[in-house]
Amino acid sequence: MPPGIDVNVPNAARMYDYYLGGKDNFAVDRAAADAVLSVAPEMRDAARSGRELIKRVVRHMIVERGIRQIIDIGSGLPTRENVHQIAQEIDPSVRVVYVDRDEVVCRHGQALLSSANTTMVQGDLRDPAAILADPGLRKLIDLDEPAGVLMMFLLHLIPDGDGPHDPVAAIREALAPGSVLAISHAASDARPEHMAKISAIYQRANSPFTPRAPETIRAFFGDWPLEEPGLVHLWPFAELPAGVDPDLAAMGYGAVAVKRR
């Protein structure tokens, strides 16, 4: 086992991998994830729906907004239909940098990502300057040109005490006009007792679970105008897919915003 990797503490990224049916997880992750599933069996559907949301957002960035470089912060373990695969299927020249703070995630990603236009770097959103200065990121990303930034299912894993709005603001400030920011986030105003039980289980993991109110989530975008339809229940740019429980969609919010030119 590589140094610095604790297999005795549940890991949020590996738990998410387990929800998706992946194999890059340990017994402690599966136990914690099963505890969440006992309270919220829809979590597997939520994880899969989240992948569909990412696909729609990436396509919107590239096709509708002309973005040709993407930073995926808090990317988690590589899984099926990754951001670079979605993006480069549309345009092979799109450059993608994955960022995650977890060493296991980064080791897996660096081993799997061999494209000249794709890389993975280790970084923590709470230190945005280090992320933006990383040589691996700067090799592919030109901050003087518009970039797409994904923070999907990330910010609810950063507690209020860490001041998550500040590093997001620093990222926004560093991006060129025309850049696009996409965020999805767990909601505190839907089934609050349910969310409280999930949050209690995540207290055992390496990241807490902090669902937030819609106005608090909207504040992550600062003064950037939101794309239509605004901050909605996790299904921007599409009708709610057939078979998806509306209560499941209501468990989170998503939005996309563009920096004014």
Domains of the chain: 12-258 (3.40.50.150)
- Residue in this structure with the two tokens 């099926």, named with its chain if needed: 80
Give the model's pLDDT for residue 236. Answer: 47
The DSSP secondary-structure symbol of 103 reads H
Tens-digit pLDDT profile for residues 148-157: 999 998 999 8
Give the model's pLDDT for residue 200. Answer: 77
| Pairing, β 118-122 against β 180-186 | unpaired
Average pLDDT, the chain: 86
Please determine, for residue 85, whether its predicted confidence score (pLDDT) is greater than 80.
Answer: yes
| Average pLDDT value for residue range 117-146 | 97
Please determine, for residue 201, whether its predicted confidence score (pLDDT) is greater than 80.
Answer: no
Please determine, for residue 35, whether its predicted confidence score (pLDDT) is greater than 60.
Answer: yes
| Average pLDDT value for residue range 13-24 | 80
Please determine, for residue 215, whether its predicted confidence score (pLDDT) is greater than 70.
Answer: yes
pLDDT level of residue 1 (50, 70, 90 thresholds): very low
Which has more pLDDT, 61 or 37? 61
Rounded to the nearest 10 degrees, what angle do helices 192-202 and 27-39 cross at? 170
- Residue in this structure with the two tokens 């923590």, named with its chain if needed: 124
Give the model's pLDDT for residue 244. Answer: 57
Give the model's pLDDT for residue 103. Answer: 83
Q: Which residues of 130-165 are buried (b: 16+ CB within 10 A; e: fewer)?
A: ebbebebbeebbeeeebbbbbbbbbbbbbeeeeebe
Distance, CA of 33 to CA of 252 (rounded, Å): 19
In this prediction the pTM is 0.84
